[in-house]
Amino acid sequence: MTNSMTAFANSEMDFENLTINCELRSVNHRYCDISLKIPERFRFAEADIRRIISDNLKRGKIECSLSFKKHSFAQQQLSIDMDAVSALLATTQSIEHIMDRPQPFSALEVLAFPGIQIEKQSDKTALLQALVALLETAIDNLILARQREGTQLSELISSRCVKMQKLLKQAQNRMPLVLEHLRTKFKHHIAELVTEVNNDRVEQEMVLLTQKLDVDEELDRLDTHIMEVLRILEQSEPIGRRLDFLMQEMNREANTLGSKSADKEMTAISIEFKVLIEQMREQVQNIE
């Protein structure tokens, strides 16, 4: 199955007094490049997160973002460090004595001061298990999204391969006519230049000219490459690099075909080949 490298997925779960969200974004890249954006609270799990992503996604620039929101006060019991409150109030009173116009503050402002609320520390083993489960769900969703887009890319490439096969048939049918036309034209040109035509010499020259203009090998190799592309599209492992190599080889054959072109129709076929190959190459850049 063909997988795209461009996709987005997310997942969410509740853990204790937190709602944790995981977002994954991926775009095309030559290798697997992982970028993490995680809060300090989850930093201990960074190595495991990287390992899980790299085990499941072989290519692409992967951006993983983890975030959390605390549940509302109604859903949790606040624990207050009263020693910290006393120290804060004592300090503020000392400062107010030297202030001209001290400003009053509320209990809510005291609660918002760092260190006043005592947060219950989550068990790291349980939290790691939750993060792994959340990440794996997001990865599964990302893989499905990459598969859906990959299927579309595969269909686009396959359709262009079919068009190229039709062009191959046109070129194969056209070449004998081109060579025969050149033979006749060459003989007439020689007859206009000399009074006595050496038919043997003309035939030798025609053989040499035919060999120079012969594109059977290029057409055969193009046909082989097209069949290989269609075969690779059916494979399940990452195929992007192999397809990219085949695009280069096909473009080389199309260029040679154009350089040997002997009439307008063959030139047009060569140009159409290169247009289709370039369209496929752009799509291949997004395939894992």
What percentage of the chain reaches a pLDDT higher than 90?
Answer: 52
Q: For residues 271-283, give the mean pLDDT.
A: 94
Q: Are residues 177 and 163 in the same domain?
A: yes
* 75: pLDDT strictly greater than 50: no
- The CATH code of the domain that includes 12 is 3.30.230
Q: Are residues 101 and 188 in the same domain?
A: no
* 205: pLDDT strictly greater than 60: no
* Tens digits of residue pLDDT in 230-263: 999 998 888 999 999 999 999 999 988 887 777 7
Q: Are residues 22 and 134 in the same domain?
A: yes
Say what the pLDDT of residue 56 is. 94
- Could you tell me if residue 1 is inside a domain? no
Q: How far apart are CA 153 and CA 147, in angstroms?
A: 10
First to last CA, the chain: 10
Q: Are residues 129 and 158 in the same domain?
A: no
Q: Are residues 128 and 56 in the same domain?
A: yes
Say what the pLDDT of residue 197 is. 52
Q: How confident is the model at residue 135 (pLDDT cuts 50, 70, 90)?
A: very high
What percentage of the chain reaches a pLDDT higher than 70?
Answer: 77
* Tens digits of residue pLDDT in 9-47: 999 999 888 899 999 999 999 899 999 999 998 999 999
Q: For residues 147-161, give the mean pLDDT.
A: 95
* 180: pLDDT strictly greater than 90: no
Q: Are residues 210 and 271 in the same domain?
A: yes
* 188: pLDDT strictly greater than 80: no
Q: For residues 184-206, give the mean pLDDT.
A: 58
* 208: pLDDT strictly greater than 70: no
171, burial (CB in 10 Å: exposed 0-12, middle 13-18, buried 19+): buried
Q: Are residues 132 and 11 in the same domain?
A: yes
Q: Are residues 219 and 101 in the same domain?
A: no
Say what the pLDDT of residue 215 is. 77
Say what the pLDDT of residue 157 is. 96
Q: Are residues 155 and 235 in the same domain?
A: yes
* 137: pLDDT strictly greater than 70: yes
Between these two residues, 185 and 269, which has the higher pLDDT value?
269
Number of structural domains found in the chain: 3
Q: DSSP of the chain, one letter per residue?
A: ---BS-EEEEEEEEETTEEEEEEEEEE--SSEEEEEE--GGGGGGHHHHHHHHHHH--SEEEEEEEEEEEPPGGGS---B-HHHHHHHHHHHHHHHTT-SSPPP--HHHHHHSTTSB-PPPPPHHHHHHHHHHHHHHHHHHHHHHHHHHHHHHHHHHHHHHHHHHHHHHHHHHHHHHHHHHHHHHHHHHHHHH-SS--HHHHHHHHHHHHHHH--HHHHHHHHHHHHHHHHHTT-SS--HHHHHHHHHHHHHHHHHHHHT--SHHHHHHHHHHHHHHHHHHHHHTTB-
- Could you tell me if residue 206 is inside a domain? yes
Look over the chain and give the mean of its residue pLDDT values, rounded to a whole number: 83
* 111: pLDDT strictly greater than 90: no
**Tokens read off for 58:** 């072989």
Say what the pLDDT of residue 200 is. 60
Q: For residues 114-136, give the mean pLDDT.
A: 82
* 130: pLDDT strictly greater than 70: yes
Q: Are residues 107 and 13 in the same domain?
A: no
- Could you tell me if residue 19 is inside a domain? yes
Give the domain extent around 183.
Answer: 150-284
- Could you tell me if residue 118 is inside a domain? no
Q: Are residues 187 and 140 in the same domain?
A: no
* 185: pLDDT strictly greater than 80: no
